[in-house]
Structure 1
């Protein structure tokens, strides 16, 4: 049996890192039939490999950019993953960001690099008027798209900073996904550690 889970630029990512993550993150599947349990465990190992590989790729990206992530936590200290993050990011990326200080530092850097044009901020404010009703208007049940007065809305200057942060955050996440797609294109996985959605293995499933 190979001692590595994957090769990143020809360098081995040890299976021990995947095993440690699996040990720290309890299985959520409640399968009882042996064949179903075995399949669930195979998919869980592939999922954990993606999390570990993402961490490895992020470490390398941080080194290339001169970024210094905090010390790596042990797998047992993996942060709780919010269901909203799973919905927004997919389970692999959400878990990788919880598990990997390097991934979080890289994402923060990508967010800082985002340029948000003033026109985009104005456009967001104009298209999402329902998000900017004043508390008083909300209590009165004002319809933001019909019959609302200008005084029923928070002023643009008061909410501009929050909109910029939200748009920068969304842009950073898109940049992170783009980076990850490119970075893992050349990763070679050992048998049993392929992506859970890789159609080359018979029990694949496209769940992120």
Structure 2
């Protein structure tokens, strides 16, 4: 490829600028492989998909760095990780493994997410609607102990007052809106990425062993 050695071939190009494969290797080293496959061909396939997955984490980090620079945000410097980033199963379920690990791995991604979240405005009617639609989330501790059914037979006093939980609901809705804004930003930003062979998105149907799980 243009006279470059195999070692110098990048994992991807972001806006035409190479993203080094060594950054992908760092993510792979941080997140150990899971032994889900026992046959050699299965292990090879899993490792190919793992590299593609790790490339997505690195690309998202690079895109977040650029977005922070464009916004005048200064993420804290990344320190060499002493252990793999802590990612809970809930975070993976809510965000997908790529974004969950990106946020654990990338100070720039966390800084950008915080900025996007701070920009969100939550209408009062959305707060009220959430409170009215989710009575099970606002039972008092006493009502929970008594096993009160929030959808039948509950009394007004069995629920925490709207004013008492208003700010908590606002924070929760703002967090959800911020995450959606982050997803939308990443989808748009990825349009400027070119992946090298072996580093395509795991769900890219152009390679034969693609998969749709993140």
Q: Tell me if both proteins adopt one fold, taking TM over 0.5 as the criterion.
A: yes
Q: Which residue number in structure 2 is paired with residue 195 of structure 1?
A: 201
1:60-82 residue CA offsets vs partner (Å, 9 max, x unmatched): 00001111000013255442111
Q: 1:25: Cα distance to partner?
A: 1.7
Quote the residue 2:3 is aligned against.
none
Q: 2:30 touches 2:85 (CA, 8 Å); kept in 1?
A: no
Cα deviation for residue 21 of structure 1 reads: 1.5
> Is 1:149 equivalent to 2:155 in the alignment?
yes
Q: What secondary structure, in the 3-state scheme, does the structure 1 residue paired with 2:11 have?
A: strand
Alignment of 1:84-163 (within 5 A): 84-163=90-169
The alpha carbon displacement at 1:130 in A equals 1.1
* Counterpart among 18, 21, 34 of residue 28 in structure 1: 34
> In 2 relative to 1, CA 54–201 (structure 1 residues): closer, same or farther, beyond 3 Å?
same
Q: Distance between the aligned counterparts of 1:77 and 1:188, measured in 2?
A: 30
1:47 match: 53
Alignment check: 8 A CA contact 2:53 2:202 kept: yes
Structure 2 unaligned regions, length at least 5? 1-5
Per the alignment, residue 76 of structure 2 pairs with 70
- After superposition, the Cα gap between the structure-2 partners of 1:69 and 1:61, relative to the gap in structure 1 and judged at 3 Å, is same
What's the Cα RMSD here? 1.1
Q: Is the 8 Å Cα contact of residues 78 and 98 (structure 1) preserved in structure 2?
A: no
Structure 1 segments unaligned to the other structure (5+ residues): none
Q: 1:30 to 1:143 in 2, by over 3 A?
A: closer
Q: Distance in 2 between matches of 1:90 and 1:74?
A: 24
Show the counterpart of 1:5. Answer: 11
TM-score (norm 2): 0.94
Answer yes or no: is the 8 Å Cα contact 2:52–2:202 preserved in 1: yes
Instruction: Please tell me whether residue 177 in structure 1 is matched to residue 183 in structure 2.
Output: yes
* 1:24 positional shift: 2.3
* CA distance in structure 1 between the partners assigned to 2:34 and 2:73 by the alignment: 35
SS of 1:176 mapped into structure 2: helix
Q: Is contact 1:59–1:102 with CA below 8 Å preserved after alignment? A: yes
Distance in 2 of aligned mates of 1:79 and 1:195: 21
Contact 1:25 1:76 in 2 (8 A): no
